[in-house]
Amino acid sequence: MLKSFTYGAAARAINASALTLFVSFAAVGAARAETLELVALGDSLTQGYGLPQGEGLVPTLQAWLDDQGADVEIVNAGVSGDTTAGGLSRVAWSLTEETDAMIVALGGNDLLRGISPDTVRANLDGILSEAEARDLPVLLVGLIAPPNYGPDYKRDFEAIYTDLSQEYDTLLYPEFFANLRDDEGNASPDRISAYMQPDGIHPNADGVDRIVEDMGPVVLELLEKAGG
């Protein structure tokens, strides 16, 4: 009897330990499953060109979201020099079954090359169509065109982002550099000196901080739409 009782007690103890371990693993698995994956599809502005590791847009935004308590992992899908055509060519394999949402921040290199707004619109339309097919919420980040291409180009280019955002029901951050401008909306020489790298195209670390400070709350809205 004693031997039988001891064995039974031991078996119950082992079963209890196994159950506790199973519950622990299940809890860890559930916690991991709640972490959202956010793909940031973009160019050098997303990739972090010219900045030390950890000071680019993606790691700075990741740290900001962590501080807000958001359970998300951002995938840096920024490629320096990429146009909207490049983004379209790689969007399908940049997204996976684990992807929960996407930021699209493309068009700067199209501007630098003077690519037709019709072409830019078609490329971005293809990217958003891919996201729609996967039922992914999107934050579309726009840009303001410089005046040197003429008023028609400027009007047509800037309309791309508002039009497509409405068509695909995305969130919209109208202009990547919005928070680097002064109160009148101008990129004054002093602001450029303070927040941009010497090339005048890419933000420095202080500029990235300001961009994330302003864009971050919109990214939180995106995560809410993704189920976070």
Region 132-148: mean pLDDT is: 96
User: Do 45 and 109 contact (CB within 8 A), yes or no?
Assistant: no
Region 166-173: mean pLDDT is: 98
Catalytic annotation, pick one of 82, 89, 202, 209? 202
pLDDT given at position 184? 65
Annotation says 199 is catalytic: yes
Confidence of residue 34 (pLDDT cuts 50, 70, 90): confident
Whether the pLDDT of residue 63 is over 90: the answer is yes
Helix (H, G, I), strand (E, B) or coil at 114: coil
Tell me the residue type at 155: R
* 72-88 confidence digits (pLDDT tens): 999 999 999 999 999 99
User: Do 216 and 74 contact (CB within 8 A), yes or no?
Assistant: no
* 98-130 confidence digits (pLDDT tens): 999 999 999 999 999 999 999 999 999 999 999
Catalytic annotation, pick one of 67, 152, 190, 199? 199
Distance CA 22, CA 129 (A): 41
DSSP string, 187-220: --HHHHHHHB-TTSSSB-HHHHHHHHHHHHHHHH
Confidence of residue 228 (pLDDT cuts 50, 70, 90): low
Annotation says 80 is catalytic: no
**Which residue would you say has higher pLDDT here, 187 or 6?**
187
Residue ranges of E strands in 121-212: 138-141, 171-173
Confidence of residue 223 (pLDDT cuts 50, 70, 90): very high
Distance CA 178, CA 210 (A): 9
pLDDT given at position 14? 39
Distance CA 205, CA 213 (A): 12
What is the arrangement of strands in the sheet containing 101-105, beginning at the earlier edge strand? 72-78, 36-42, 101-105, 138-141, 171-173
Catalytic annotation, pick one of 43, 44, 82, 165? 44
- Both tokens assigned to 140: 């579309």
Annotation says 44 is catalytic: yes
Whether the pLDDT of residue 4 is over 80: the answer is no
* 144-154 confidence digits (pLDDT tens): 999 999 999 99
CATH class as words, domain 35-225? alpha beta
Distance CA 205, CA 216 (A): 16
Tokens 């993606």: give the residue: 58
Task: Write down the mean pLDDT value for the chain.
Answer: 87
Confidence (pTM): 0.84
Distance CA 145, CA 121 (A): 14
